[in-house]
Amino acid sequence: MTEISLPTAPCSQPTPDKEQKAPISKQPVSGHDPIAELLPWYANGTLTPAELALVEHHLSDCLVCRQELEQYRTLDAACPTLAKQRDWQASSAHFARILQQLQAHEAVSTPPPTRRHLLETVSNWLQYTPKPIAWALALETITLATLLLTLAITTHPTAMPTFETLSDSPKPAIAGLSRVHIVFAEDITERDLRALLTAVHGRLVDGPSLLGVYTLALPAGHGNTPVALATLRAHARVRLAEPVAADAQP
């Protein structure tokens, strides 16, 4: 490997103008190090007025620092240009993916509502109740239960018939339907929404969730779902349309 001499100071030679102002020696002047450490932020223009005055005073005497400053100034000019060339753009598709991840994360991390067991509640309550009162209540409860049981046996000797109300009937199955999670743009109009639902023969069956996600039911079969998905995704007011995992077509 070719040995290359790497100067500590910059490689460039000072301009004639700078040479006139600079001391003959290239040795750093006293108090050089603390000031030299501030040079990057002198170059990016973020020093306080007090620091600025210190640096400027030092620069007039120190050739080494003037040369280092030129390097930092080159970086200050070049780095923003290089940053612009980096291929990273914000996009509605990327934001929609982030929302989807948030929703998935919140669905996993949201704890189910805590319901204390009845026995636990009674046990805790009894713990803080004076014993004579607790025993009296227990005896009273047993007596009441015996009475109710006797009453039930004498009035209903046969098995209780089961009653079914309309509200007890099982929810209608959505066989033949596939579901899609959909996020609309904030400015979608009711007319646009109706036209879109008509076009894909869909109907909203759930939502909006915390993150504004609706569930759309689509008639499945005959390759309808992919066509409907394409229609939804192509619509200018639809930010996200993803099949629900359990219904997803292979």
Q: What is the CA radius of gyration of the chain?
A: 39
For another protein, the closer CB: 182 or 228:
182
64 within 8 A of 28, measured Cβ to Cβ: yes
Nearest distance from C-beta of residue 31 to another protein, angstroms: 15
Region of residue 222 (left: phi > 0; alpha: psi -120 to 50; beta: else) = left
For another protein, the closer CB: 51 or 192:
51
179 within 8 A of 216, measured Cβ to Cβ: yes
Piece in contact with another protein (CB under 8 A), picked from 94-102, 127-135, 137-145, 162-170: 94-102
Residue 211 interacts with another protein (CB under 8 A)?
Answer: yes
Residue 20 interacts with another protein (CB under 8 A)?
Answer: no
Residue 242 interacts with another protein (CB under 8 A)?
Answer: no
184 within 8 A of 239, measured Cβ to Cβ: yes
2, burial (CB in 10 Å: exposed 0-12, middle 13-18, buried 19+): exposed
Nearest distance from C-beta of residue 214 to another protein, angstroms: 14
Sign of the alpha-carbon torsion through 154, 158, 159, 162: negative
Please work out the total of residues on this chain that contact another protein, with binding judged by CB under 8 A: 53
Residue 212 interacts with another protein (CB under 8 A)?
Answer: yes
Residue 78 interacts with another protein (CB under 8 A)?
Answer: yes
Ranges within 40-59 binding another protein (CB under 8 A): 40-41, 43-47
Q: Is 203 helix (H, G, I), strand (E, B) or coil?
A: strand
Positions that interact with another protein (CB under 8 A): 1-2, 4, 6-8, 10-12, 15, 37-38, 40-41, 43-47, 67-68, 70-76, 78-90, 94-95, 97-99, 101-102, 105, 186, 210-212
